[in-house]
Amino acid sequence: MLLETYNRAPVTIVRGEGCELLDDRGRRYLDFIGGLAVAALGHAHPAIAEAVAAQARTLTHASNLYHHEPAGTLARELVARARMSGAFFCNSGAEANEAAIKLARKWAFRRGERERTTILACTGSFHGRTLGALAATANAAYQEGFGPLPGGFAFVPFNDTAALDSAIASRVAAVIVEPVQGESGVHAATPDFLAQARRLCDERGALLIFDEVQCGVGRLGTLFAFERFGVRPDVVTFAKALANGLPIGVMLANERAAGAFRPGDHGSTFGGSPVPCAAALAHLRLRDELDLDARVRARSRQLFDALAQLARAKSKVLGSPRGMGLLIGVPVLAPYDAAAIVAQAREGGLLIGSAGGNTLRFAPPLIVSESEASRAVELLATAVDRARQRWSTTDDVCSKRA
């Protein structure tokens, strides 16, 4: 039996096809959360399945004691596309951020700056559930009961450049920031905040880390989120969508930072395993072939327009959409409740997520079609109406809150 670390919906998924998931009763769902921003190319993409099967028949594991072709090729591809220097592979977003935090501290250590250990993160941040990543996560509810957390973490208000200026002092080894925060309710950084972070890190001798675990890998209409903002970090982390559903994480570091890790400094048994790397390589090839970035931008415009229109039509319940690309949040206005709309949407055949601040979260596959995007907004409109009917006819949590 699974430990109850998640509030799972009462649905058993048995199959995926493109932008749809099927349950054990044969019901189809339009998947607009994409396995939490993972299924960039949709579910069961034949080219990914073929790459995985071919690699599994050839070599599934060799360990990091040796070189192998899938990890080497993927590292070269990612480093070239990011214009960085080196890649470290692991298995998840939290691990990629752990690697980035460790790299930043080792980088300062190797420069003889042993007091420079602080990792500066932002309010609203989410960097993962391992202890180091959790210490950089500004969410008291996620941290509660897990102390003592590692020390050396501090926070600045997200998008507050003056606070950043005051906070980046001589003890700061790195600033870590999500270009678009997902968990906090889908909030984009301002280009100025990221540009100032870059300038201040250079000026004060700290590294700049972008956590692109959720907003990267094409979700904003560019492979790297940083390309949308025109600010280059020293270190960037990816996971989630990279292998389109297989576990993988990667930390990419530029010339300034990469040399801080030497043999024995960090590791992972499964990091850069051949099968996820083969899936990631197939993903990168496909995104080029499909011209995915142009598609993401077109679908993003369509969804932002349609959701803004829906918000105007249902202005008592929904606020204006926010976010970027295909990472979109729609605030649900008090006293109404995002979780109830998510549940009604699921009943109606649409899977969406919720995020902090009573927000609906949309992270559909990047291959989503125009008609699927229209259908999703129609299903959402119905879900909002159904939730409102329930709120008005039952004495539920929502009316009590009001």
Ligand X SMILES: Cc1ncc(COP(=O)(O)O)c(C=O)c1O
Kindly list the catalytic residues. Answer: 126, 211, 240
Binding flag, residue 98, ligand X (CB under 6 A): no
Strand, coil or helix: what is 197? helix
Total residues contacting ligand X by CB under 6 A comes to: 14
Give the one residue of 33, 188, 239, 379 binding ligand X; rule: CB under 6 A. 239
Binding flag, residue 354, ligand X (CB under 6 A): no
Binding flag, residue 356, ligand X (CB under 6 A): no
CA distance 125 to 104: 18
CA distance 307 to 185: 16
Binding flag, residue 94, ligand X (CB under 6 A): yes
Q: Which residues in the 132-191 window bind ligand X by CB under 6 A? A: 178, 182-183
The C-alpha angle 171, 175, 179, rounded to 5 degrees, equals: 170
Backbone angles phi, psi at 40, to 5 degrees: -60, -40
Of residues 275 and 383, the one with the C-beta less far from ligand X: 275
CA distance 98 to 119: 11
Inter-residue contact 264 to 91 (CB < 8 Å)? no
Q: What is the closest distance, in whole angstroms, from the C-beta atom of residue 226 to ligand X in the complex?
A: 14
Binding flag, residue 127, ligand X (CB under 6 A): yes
Binding flag, residue 216, ligand X (CB under 6 A): no
For the chain, helix, strand, coil in percent to 5 are 40, 20, 40
Binding flag, residue 359, ligand X (CB under 6 A): no
Of residues 213 and 324, the one with the C-beta less far from ligand X: 213
The C-alpha angle 232, 363, 389, rounded to 5 degrees, equals: 140
Of residues 177 and 377, the one with the C-beta less far from ligand X: 177
End-to-end CA gap in the chain: 38
Binding flag, residue 293, ligand X (CB under 6 A): no
The C-alpha angle 310, 312, 318, rounded to 5 degrees, equals: 70
Give the one residue of 16, 86, 128, 356 binding ligand X; rule: CB under 6 A. 128
**Residues near ligand X, by CB under 6 A:** 92-94, 97, 126-128, 178, 182-183, 211, 213-214, 239
